[in-house]
Structure formats: structure tokens, C-alpha cells
Structure 1
Amino acid sequence: MSRKLLVPATALTVATVFALAACAPSSDDAAGGGEPKAGGTLKVLANGDVDHLDPQLVAYVPTYNVMRSISRSLLSYSASNDAAERIVLQPDLAEAVPEPSADGLSYTITLRDGITWGAPDGERAIVASDVERGIKRLCNPLISGALAGYFTGLIEGMAEFCTGFAAVAPEVDPMREYLENTDISGIETPDDTTVVFTLTKPASDFPFMLSLDAADPAPIEALDELPDSPEYRRSFVSSGPYKVADYTPDAKLVLERNEAWNPDSDPLRKAYVDSIEMTMGVEGDAAMQQLQAGSADLLFDLSPSPANIQQLKAQNDDKLSTMENGGVDQFMWINTKSPNNGGALADLKLRQALQYAVDKTAVVQTMGGEELAGVTNGIFGPGILGYEEYDPYPANDGKGDPEKAKQLLAEAGFPDGITLKLPYRNVGTQPDIAQTVQASLERAGITVELTPVPPTDYYANFMTNPENATTGAWDIALVGWSPDWQGGAARSVFQPQFVFDGTHQSYNYVDYNSDAANALAEQALAATTPEEAGDLWHQVDEAVMADSPMVSIAYRLKPNYHSERVGGFVEYAQSQNGDWTNVWLNG
């Protein structure tokens, strides 16, 4: 599943504007008492495994903490408990956040001194060709990176490079030969410390894309094995403060110090602990018991349950925290391709009836109340440039307006109501949320037939199968979405879900497209100030919601918890959790 899909426990502006002062984490802004201490083993509990250990392929939110530890990015973010500070773009391997050229088509990265690989034959400098190699690996013919699409059409010549790469045999030798001997015209490396990216069109969010591990440099050794194969994972070459010491899929991951890492070259990671041990296969309640007992420290893909949270809040436990992630946890997509009811959902009035019918406040209560969730009315969640609190379909402050919905149903030709099919993930609170939506729609004369779908099949096999849309297997469906990067991330919400250029995208379930929204998005990406970009992205939001392809319902705050012995718990925005590379152990 892509990082874009919100997984509760389970996917723009000019760089110089966002390159504001944001300090590396310190004990002053860190949760957890005491002075920083070096040493010890940080114990992390997980239910499942990482999606990948290959940076170019990573797209799962929790895995970003693993990558933060072993693979440095060109640009990144400071870990901070300040919501505004932790989404400000920061230099990592780069000396500075790059500024665009006068025409907005070029960005130059200068690599900082002292950055190194922990290579098998000894410490070696990370150089410009490693950056180019990492970008090239995004579209290898064996397994392309889930986030490759952001780069492919944007970097000049990359689409042609990837087309040629697709014709190469997915084997080590031919892939290495093609990659090392075929250039991308939009990536130049005039010397070992300089990389120049040339774009096909202005994209003020391009620097934010360079914070993705998908754009991390790749050492030459990465070409000796198939991407993310067991052999690749065993021989992973680290650029971060830790390296892979032991890995058993679905069981255990152990990271130990990378002797080649130079702390003077790294403004973002303190690397206090000596090692990190992640144990997989742990269930939620058992994990919380271990954290409270002090036999483990942090959670990977798990979160406290609503019952845990209420108990912890009653106890005023300051080890519980919540954070925004810029996502919308509950969208209700409307299937305009459904043949059911004579194709009625193609009628805007009927879709607008659904907007007024949903009791969003009831869904928020089902999700744990206002301390853990909030009502949304557009395609962007809090924390995204372009997000504004507005309500294009005002309905009693989110409680719904059944009478208005009935009026629109009648105008659409359904005075006696309509019956719709709603599948849902049969996991966690999703059945309760589906029933809450069902009850609110029924008050407006809309009968909802609920169909449970196993969570592992919901996105992978049900929602992303276009035939299920065109055959009417569903009429309305609950999904979630989280941005792929932080801050200027509106593109990563809009492009994958609400743009159709003739090629079906997995998460644009009905091939929705708006020429007006597309034009506004192009203007937003060429904007020269954050105010201009934010205003244009909000207009994109308005243009999409005018078509009513989905009902925006609620965002969810990400809850995190840690053990008593963890000091310096500061949140890393990409992983939506505490930063493994900046905590210390008090005992």
C-alpha cells in the first residue's frame, strides 16, 4: 500500500521561501526529561515489516524512520514537536535548500563536505554521480518506485530514459549496463559535488520531492544485486548513522552504528543510541503493555487504540502525543461510472445530495472525538499549503442537512430515495465508521448496502480494480489519503487522485479530471510566493469540490506513545512518529 493511503495502525512554494530557520532538535523542545545520553539499544515494536529496504522503492509511512536511520536524503526536515517547524524544508546531504533559476526550470544542488558511504571496502565520499544513479534507479524494469511518477515527467529526458529502461532485461548485468551508460539530459554532474536538475516546466515543489527517500543517492554497490532483493538487503550500503546488522523478514530488524557516518556533516541526526532493534509480529495491546512496563520503547506501525488513549488521557500521561499529517483520513468517493440506478451518480445534484447527507461530526466521534479527529470539507487536510477552512456545502456545522439532501434527491429524479452500495475495510474502527455513514444517509432517504472487504484486499484488489467501478460493485466507498511529503505537498494529494490524462491512475478510482483544476495547479506550481501558491491551491480545491467527485469527511490526528525511559521524543513529520535518530535512553 502506498504511503499516500492513511494507515492508522496498520498515500509548493518556492524553496527559498520555505528555507526558514528551523533548529535541529534540542533538549529544550524535546518531550522527556533529562540531559541527552549516548548508548543503549532502542527497542521498537511492530506488527508488520517494512515495505522495502531499498530507498528508491519506499512508500510506506512507518518505513521512513528506518530510512532516516540508514539512508540520508538531499533535503529533509528537522524533527520537532512544533507543527509548523517540522514541515520546513532543511538541507541534509545538500549544503542548502536550492533556489530555482530565473525561469524556474533549473535547480542546482551542492553537496556538503564530509558525507560518506559505509562501503564494504571502507569509507567513501558520496558524490554527484551517486545522486544521479539514485534517480535513475526509480524506474528500473524489475520493480519501479511507487513515487517515480512525480519525477518521470518533470525531469527533462527522464521519461525517455525510463522508456528505454523498460525494454532492458530485468537482470543485474543488463540493468547495470543501461543505467551506468545512459544519461538523463535533465541531470548534469559537472563535478563531484554539484548536481544540476533541469525540469520540463516550473515546479516550485521540486525541492520538496528531493526530501523523499525515492530521490536518495545510490552507491555503485546498489547495482550488484536486484532492487530490494534479499541479497540487496543483506549488503545494504548505509549513508546514515546506522547500518543493517541483522534482518529476518517479518521477524526482526537490527541496526547498529555506521562507523563511516560523520556527525559533523549531519545537522539533523544526533544518533544517541548505539543500536535499534525492531521486533515484528506484535499485536497492539501487547505492544502497549510492553511500553508501559518499560520492556520496549517505541511503536513502528502500531498506534494506541481509542481505549488506550482514553485511559492515558485520564491518567494525564505525558508520553502520549498526537500530530497532524496533512491527510484526510475519510474521503467518501462517489462512483460516477456506476451503472446502478441508471447511472444516477453521474448527476451532479445527486452527488451534492450526498454532500449534505453525511453527518461528519458523528464520524469524528466514532474516530475518537475532537481530540483525535476533525471535520474536513475539501481535498486537503490541515498542514498542507492550500488548506483553508471553508465549507462549500454548509450543513449545520458538519452535522448534515437531511432535508436539503432530500430536496436534491427529488430534483435528481429520486423523490422516494435511492439505494447505494458501500464497501468498507473490515478492520479497526472502519466498520463503525461505515455504519455511522449508513445511518446519516438513511435519514436523508438514501439506503446503504454495506459490504465488508478484507483490509489486505480493499485497496490492492477491490478499489484499484477499474472493473469494480464500471460494473457497479460499489457506488460510494470510504478511503483515506496522506501526502507523500510535507509542507508544500498539495501536488501529492491532487495529482494521483484528481488528474486523468488518458492513463488510468490506481487511486483516481473513476478517472476524474477537471481542466479548470489542472490549469490552476499549473499556476500554483509556477507561483513565486507562498501566499500566491497557497491561494491557487485553494482554488484547485474549490474547483474539484464544485464537481463533487467525493465527500470529504474527516482528518485523523496520529497518536504516538513511548516508554518512560525514552528522552528527547521529537516528531519526524515524514514517519509521523518519534525520530529514532534523535531520542536517547534514560535508563
Structure 2
Amino acid sequence: MARDVIRVAAGLAGLAVGLTACGGGETASGADGPPRDGGTLRVVGSSDVEHLDTASVASVGAYGLARIYARTLFGTRASNDFNETVPVRADVAVRLPTRENGDIGKDGRTYTVRLRKGVLWNTRPVRAVTAPDFVRGFERLCNPASPSPAKGYYTSTIEGMDAFCRGFGGVDAKDPGAIAEYQQKRDIEGIHAKDDETLVFRLKRPASDFLNLLSLPFTAAAPQEYERYVPDGRDFRQHTISDGPYQISEYRPGMSYLLTRNPAWRQDTDPLRERHVEKIRITLGQDSPETVQGQIEQGSADLAWDQPVPTQAIPRLRDDPRFAIRDAPSNSPYLVFNTRSPNNGGALGKREVRQALEYAIDRSALVKIVGGPSVARPLHTVIPPGSAGYAPSDRYATPGASGDPAKCRELLGKAGRPGLTLRFPYRTNSVHRLIAQSIQQNLAACGVRTELTADTGGSFYSSTLVTPAQAGEGRWDIAAPGWTPDWYGNNGRSVIQPLFDGRAYGPNSTNYGGYNNSQVNDLIDAALTADDASRAAGFWQRADQKIMEDAAIVPLLDRAHTIFRSSRVRGARFVPTAAGYDYTRLWLADD
């Protein structure tokens, strides 16, 4: 449906990605033959998702999982051609709103979205997915139990959403009845279900990226049954409902998922997904990338869940058609400072201390750890290449991007803060332990001691970094999360706003370090109200420069994703925002 494609603004549509992408693993259906139905896709990895509720998903793994059981009004198509994954396309919506078809008002603030018929929930009996289900999905973004880390996208864009969210904050987070009552008795001024098949959105001001926002998993439809449970709570996680090709039939927290075919799903109602395998089994708890890789090569597993290909395996796999390096421009990882930590006399709250630490890191060593220059390159800006507002810059330049410990020591001395001791939790999957150890060595060279702590079981994102109380108590000082933009193309706000808008700091915020600068907040507002994408990009670039001047983070790598599939996987197509293949599009060859 080529007419259901919206192209990004001029200058972004043909964005190029700078890393070298391998052609291995390119598996279009023409090369693999016709799809074959049946079999069980076996996925193996380390950690559970931090949030299963689509309202509060926050990781690439959760994005990939949500894609197969929860549908949004719009979406993107999986492809091994990066540029094919950028355009917004219709999903549950019948078509893309445009001024020409009358679905976008003359003032650019009113959007009418019409739903396609035949999209069904797997309830008993089955029933249609309706416009009120999408309204409920938006209302749940602000719930007090597990608020969406992306709610700022919507409170700053949709009329009345900010007021709705502020009121929701006073509701008992442990009482599903009180949460449901608030949603039922209050409306978001700018979201209206005209009838079961028509949604009307009213924006505060024109937003050139509004359809991108409606393609994100946070905005998935939510069935009325979800009001029975605390959002993302233990009971909720055992009672997910599907309107996608697959349904979660069995969930063992931290251990495994079993997804089976959703009998209510119909191919003719879904332009973005397919359904070929009979079952999808995701097995967790395997922290070793080498072990996961071995299982896939030996044929006892098909795909890795959250592990890239081990660095040492890349040279021997370069000519293997099952191996690929896929474009996924990102700031991954980056070093974030907890500006609210009381440790070391609140040293990390001081800009000159953070600026000194900017000089400590040897990015060239990190490039080697993740697989070399074909996989990653040093990054010195908040915004990665391939994103609106990116401009090459290196405010804290060091020879060969290898760090300057002498400069770090000198500046720490001038700031009166030598001999820091920093608490440093790290993820246990993939190469994150090696990255943490490398950073630890870099900091030691400039006289800073770090206390490394393995953050296991998915708690790194689900509790450690997103809980303001832990930051305020100094449970951590530095950490190395990663950030893949929520979308590509006209995506300026998908980096700066979620990571650095101080007004959105709170539970589940992805502004992990609690950074807050009124000048940056004003630049965010200026970008959001700009009358065209190129002018907005200028404001995003200025915000990037100010954040780097404040040394809120240390950007480390712009990193592609290395991925490997078993010999029986066919039709594998990549989803950059999920850092993985689309499980709904692939199929399995005969064993």
C-alpha cells in the first residue's frame, strides 16, 4: 500500500548511515523461496524486559516483543534496507492522515484517524478493537503505578494531556480500582473517540512528527480488561491480551515466554506483519554471549534475544551468510552521571567535575571491545548520526579518541575534587562487563576509584536507573546505558527530550541522571514549536551543544548491531528500533 507511506522531511528522507553494513544475512523471500508455515522459533538470551505493559516499555527487547502482540495506529516495516524502515505506514489505521485527504485540519492541529475493520482482540468471545481502546491506551501512559517513560512526547503535544497526567499523579498507585475510576471519569481534552472507528486528536500546536508518535508501542490499544490490574504489575503480566499475530500463552518472569498463534488475528487486516512460525519460545537467563552464539551455530537455538554476536567471533563469521551487521544508529552505550548523588560531597552535581571526567574515557578501546570500526565508531555528541540535529563535534577532544588522563587529573584538581569514589552498576549481558571494566581502568588512570556492581535480572533499567529515590540516596553515581532513538528520520525529539528534559524527571524517566537546565528545556520547546523540520533541527543541535557543555553524559559509541541466525531461519528482516529481526516475518526451513 504505497499510498500509506509518509516520507520524512526533505534532507532526512535519504539519510545515510556511516558504518559499514555487511550484506550477509540478507534474506528476502525471493532468495529464500516461498514462506513455509509451522515450527517453533527458539530465541535465547539473558534478561527479561523491564516492562511488559506497552504503556511503559523502554528497551529494544520490549519493542520487539510488543510488536508481535500489540498493535498501534501506525508503524514501520521491517527491512534489511535501513531507509525502508524509516517511513511511517498505516497499521490499525486505514490510511495516513494528510491535508490532501482532509484528515489533517487546515491549522495542522486536528488529526482524524479512521480505524480499519476486522482487527480483533483474542478475548472470549472475540471483539473488535475500537477507538475507545486507543483512548484508554493514551490514558494509561500517565498511570501512577508504571508511568510511561515517553509520556513527555504526548504531554507536550496533545491538548489537555498534561493536565490529565498531573491529576493522575495523586491516585493510589497500588489500587487498580482507583486507577480505572480516574481513567473512566476524566477525559483527555485532545483525544476523542468520535465513534468506534474514528479517533480525533487535537494538538497544542502543529507537530511535524505527530504520526511518528502514533507509531510508538506506548500508544497501542488497551482492552478494557486491563483496568482490572495494576499497570505492569505481576497480575497484569499474566493476563496480556493480543490483537497481533501472536499471544503470550505462558510467561515465567525472568525465565521464559511462550507465544502461540492468536486465533483472532487475520492477515488481511494487518499490512505490516505476517505469521509463519507456529510458536515462539524465548528462554532467558543465559548471560554468556559465547554460549548463546554456540547454541545458534550448533542449531539448538535460532536467534539471540539480547546478545549481539561475540566480538571474537566476528572475524570468522564475516563471510557467513547467516551473519550480518545491521544499521541502527544509536548512542550506545553512553556514560551518564547521577547529578543528584550525595556521594563525594555531591561532586557529580558540579559541572567542572563532570567536564574533567569527559577526558578520561578511551573510546578507541571500546570500539575494539564491540567488534572494531565496522561495528562502531567513537561518538562525541548526544545526537547520533542519522538523526535530526546531528552535527559532528568533539568538545573534549583527545588524541585518537583514546582519552587524556593527565587532563582529567588536572581538571579534577582545579575543581578541588581529586580522589573520587564512584558507584558503578553495570549490565551483565553482552559485552557490558568488559565495557564497565574498561571505563573503570580509564577512571583509575586519572585517580578515580570505581566500585563495580553487577546489575542482574533486568533490574538495571527497571529499578536502578529509573527510581529517583535510588539516585537521591546515591545508590549509583555513573552507569552505561544505551539509547536507540524511538524512531528515525524526523526524530529530533526522540533523543533530547526523553533523555534531558528536566521537567519530566520522575519515576520511570529515562533522564536517568536527573539533569535539568532551563536553557535546554527552552530549546526543546523551541524545537517542538518550530514551523519546519530544518528549523527544529537547528534547535536540537543547539541543545546538544549545551548538554555537552554541561557534561551531562559522556557519549561513547555510535554502534551498529551484529546479528546471527541459525541455518533454518529464512525471511529475516530487521527492525532497527528493536535491534532484532521481526519474528512475524520470518519462517523456518525444514529441520
Instruction: Indicate whether the TM-score tops 0.5.
Output: yes
**What code does the residue aligned with 2:57 have?**
V
Q: Distance in 1 between matches of 2:572 and 2:159?
A: 41
The answer to whether the 8 A contact 2:55-2:219 is kept is: yes
Deviation, structure 1 residue 54: 3.1
Q: Distance in 2 between matches of 1:260 and 1:302?
A: 32
Q: Deviation per CA, 1:25-74, whole angstroms, max 9, x where unpaired? A: x9974697333222322222233434444322332321222222111111
Q: Distance in 1 between matches of 2:514 and 2:49?
A: 30
Q: Distance in 2 between matches of 1:112 and 1:55?
A: 21
Q: Deviation per CA, 1:479-523, whole angstroms, max 9, x where unpaired? A: 433334444443243233323239557554554333333333223
Matched, 1:209 2:208: no
Match of residue 159, structure 1, among 158, 162, 172 = 162
Q: Distance in 2 between matches of 1:243 and 1:438?
A: 43
Deviation, structure 1 residue 16: 6.2
The answer to whether the 8 A contact 2:326-2:560 is kept is: yes
Q: Distance in 1 between matches of 2:309 and 2:203?
A: 43
Deviation, structure 1 residue 261: 1.8
The answer to whether the 8 A contact 1:294-1:564 is kept is: yes
**What code does the residue aligned with 2:263 have?**
E
Q: Distance in 2 between matches of 1:487 and 1:166?
A: 33
Matched, 1:128 2:128: no
Q: Distance in 2 between matches of 1:105 and 1:131?
A: 19
1:38 is matched with 37
Task: Specify whether residues 434 and 153 from structure 1 end up closer, same or farther in structure 2 by C-alpha distance, changes over 3 A only.
Answer: same
Task: Specify whether residues 15 and 513 from structure 1 end up closer, same or farther in structure 2 by C-alpha distance, changes over 3 A only.
Answer: farther
Q: Distance in 2 between matches of 1:77 and 1:160?
A: 30
Q: Distance in 1 between matches of 2:415 and 2:292?
A: 53
3-state SS, counterpart of residue 185 of structure 1: coil
Q: Deviation per CA, 1:328-347, whole angstroms, max 9, x where unpaired? A: 22333456667788877666
Matched, 1:88 2:87: yes
1:253 is matched with 257
Matched, 1:266 2:265: no
CA RMSD of aligned residues (A): 3.7
Matched, 1:318 2:318: no
2:71 is matched with 72
Task: Specify whether residues 97 and 409 from structure 1 end up closer, same or farther in structure 2 by C-alpha distance, changes over 3 A only.
Answer: same
Matched, 1:59 2:97: no
3-state SS, counterpart of residue 539 of structure 1: helix
Matched, 1:566 2:591: no
**Structure 1 residue runs without a partner (length 5+):** 1-13
Matched, 1:382 2:385: yes
Q: Distance in 1 between matches of 2:579 and 2:383?
A: 17
Q: Distance in 2 between matches of 1:141 and 1:435?
A: 37
Deviation, structure 1 residue 141: 4.4
1:453 is matched with 453
Task: Specify whether residues 17 and 95 from structure 1 end up closer, same or farther in structure 2 by C-alpha distance, changes over 3 A only.
Answer: farther
- Further displaced range: 332-341 or 284-293: 332-341
- Further displaced range: 211-220 or 93-102: 93-102
Deviation, structure 1 residue 321: 2.0
Q: Distance in 2 between matches of 1:251 and 1:435?
A: 27
Match of residue 114, structure 1, among 107, 118, 121 = 118
1:7 is matched with none
Task: Specify whether residues 570 and 335 from structure 1 end up closer, same or farther in structure 2 by C-alpha distance, changes over 3 A only.
Answer: closer
Deviation, structure 1 residue 439: 4.7
Q: Deviation per CA, 1:299-339, whole angstroms, max 9, x where unpaired? A: 223333223334433xx222122334343223334566677
Q: Structure 2 length normalisation: TM-score?
A: 0.83
Match of residue 491, structure 1, among 490, 493, 498 = 493
| Aligned positions of 1:82-481 closer than 5 A | 82-99=81-98, 101-122=105-126, 124-168=127-171, 170-228=174-232, 232-284=236-288, 285-313=290-318, 316-334=319-337, 351-401=354-404, 412=414, 418-425=418-425, 427=428, 429-440=431-442, 446-456=446-456, 477-481=479-483
- Further displaced range: 59-68 or 522-531: 522-531
Q: Distance in 2 between matches of 1:239 and 1:340?
A: 48
Deviation, structure 1 residue 167: 4.8
Task: Specify whether residues 554 and 502 from structure 1 end up closer, same or farther in structure 2 by C-alpha distance, changes over 3 A only.
Answer: closer
Task: Specify whether residues 502 and 430 from structure 1 end up closer, same or farther in structure 2 by C-alpha distance, changes over 3 A only.
Answer: closer
The answer to whether the 8 A contact 1:205-1:525 is kept is: no
**What code does the residue aligned with 2:201 have?**
F
- Further displaced range: 29-38 or 358-367: 29-38
The answer to whether the 8 A contact 2:93-2:116 is kept is: yes
Task: Specify whether residues 126 and 460 from structure 1 end up closer, same or farther in structure 2 by C-alpha distance, changes over 3 A only.
Answer: closer
Deviation, structure 1 residue 79: 0.2
Q: Distance in 1 between matches of 2:293 and 2:439?
A: 30
1:3 is matched with none
3-state SS, counterpart of residue 247 of structure 1: strand
Task: Specify whether residues 88 and 337 from structure 1 end up closer, same or farther in structure 2 by C-alpha distance, changes over 3 A only.
Answer: same
Q: Distance in 1 between matches of 2:115 and 2:121?
A: 14
1:11 is matched with none
Q: Distance in 1 between matches of 2:578 and 2:192?
A: 31
**Structure 2 residue runs without a partner (length 5+):** 1-5, 16-24, 99-103
Q: Distance in 2 between matches of 1:127 and 1:257?
A: 22
3-state SS, counterpart of residue 47 of structure 1: coil
Match of residue 550, structure 2, among 547, 550, 571 = 547
**What code does the residue aligned with 2:423 have?**
P
2:22 is matched with none
**What code does the residue aligned with 1:501 have?**
R
The answer to whether the 8 A contact 1:483-1:490 is kept is: no
**What code does the residue aligned with 2:140 have?**
R
Task: Specify whether residues 235 and 165 from structure 1 end up closer, same or farther in structure 2 by C-alpha distance, changes over 3 A only.
Answer: same
Task: Specify whether residues 84 and 112 from structure 1 end up closer, same or farther in structure 2 by C-alpha distance, changes over 3 A only.
Answer: same
Q: Deviation per CA, 1:97-132, whole angstroms, max 9, x where unpaired? A: 33554444333222223323233113x332211111
Task: Specify whether residues 197 and 546 from structure 1 end up closer, same or farther in structure 2 by C-alpha distance, changes over 3 A only.
Answer: same
**What code does the residue aligned with 2:136 have?**
R
Q: Deviation per CA, 1:412-470, whole angstroms, max 9, x where unpaired? A: 367xx932333333546445434434554566xx2121211231466666656768777
The answer to whether the 8 A contact 1:358-1:399 is kept is: yes
Deviation, structure 1 residue 268: 0.9
Q: Distance in 1 between matches of 2:164 and 2:360?
A: 49
Task: Specify whether residues 507 and 213 from structure 1 end up closer, same or farther in structure 2 by C-alpha distance, changes over 3 A only.
Answer: closer
Q: Deviation per CA, 1:327-376, whole angstroms, max 9, x where unpaired? A: 32233345666778887766655544443443321232233322332100
3-state SS, counterpart of residue 574 of structure 1: helix
The answer to whether the 8 A contact 1:366-1:436 is kept is: no
Deviation, structure 1 residue 258: 2.2
Deviation, structure 1 residue 563: 0.7
**What code does the residue aligned with 1:130 have?**
D
3-state SS, counterpart of residue 164 of structure 2: helix
| Aligned positions of 1:14-25 closer than 5 A | 17=9
Task: Specify whether residues 130 and 21 from structure 1 end up closer, same or farther in structure 2 by C-alpha distance, changes over 3 A only.
Answer: farther
The answer to whether the 8 A contact 1:421-1:476 is kept is: no
Identity of aligned residues (%): 36
1:516 is matched with 519
Q: Structure 1 length normalisation: TM-score?
A: 0.83
2:19 is matched with none
- Further displaced range: 505-514 or 384-393: 505-514
